[in-house]
Amino acid sequence: MNLAEIRAAVEAYLGDTIVDIDRHVNACLERLASMSEKIDSMDVNVEDGKFVLPEECLILKDVYWENRRLDRWIRLGFDDDVKGDPFWWVQIGNEVKLYPPATGKAEIFYTPRPKKLIQETDVPDLDGCEEALILYAVWRGRMEEDHPSAVISQQNYLDAERQWITANRKRYNRKRKIRLVGE
């Protein structure tokens, strides 16, 4: 289903409306992608322990340095005197810092950002999400118009979202590695 067909389906629910359907559809795409189990990876160049996340990265999941997983840094500040290969990473906005700082290549694992639907022929990146996109746009449109059935539309969307999440988890199910303390 392309953007024009999604728009037509939303308009069939809302009737004559001034709601920005495209904005709601694209917001829902990002919302669903953030809940997706799909993970992509890529190499990034690191200079002085820093790199900027690529545009296609929605959520950074993991950083690896020389095939070794780095831990996420959760404290404030770093000690200045530590040298060697990185052990930790921290994300500040769109920038990622490794500690201790190093220069080279890191491999990142991330949830990919879906491409925005702009042209009428654009098709969503996320498989099987069309019903959720339609129901989200209907819900948000009814909220904007203060329609009394907005609560019912929200529940319809949340049901479609749950169905999509279940199907997505089955599709991208991966084994989880459990790291024991002391490893």
Instruction: Encode pLDDT of 27-80 as tens digits.
Output: 999 999 999 988 999 999 999 989 999 999 999 999 999 999 999 887 666 666
d(CA 120, CA 91): 36
**At residue 178, does pLDDT exceed 90?**
no
Q: Residue 135: exposed, middle, or buried by beta-carbon count in 10 A (0-12, 13-18, 19+)?
A: buried
What is the pLDDT at residue 2? 95
Cβ–Cβ < 8 Å for 6, 25 = yes
pTM: 0.81
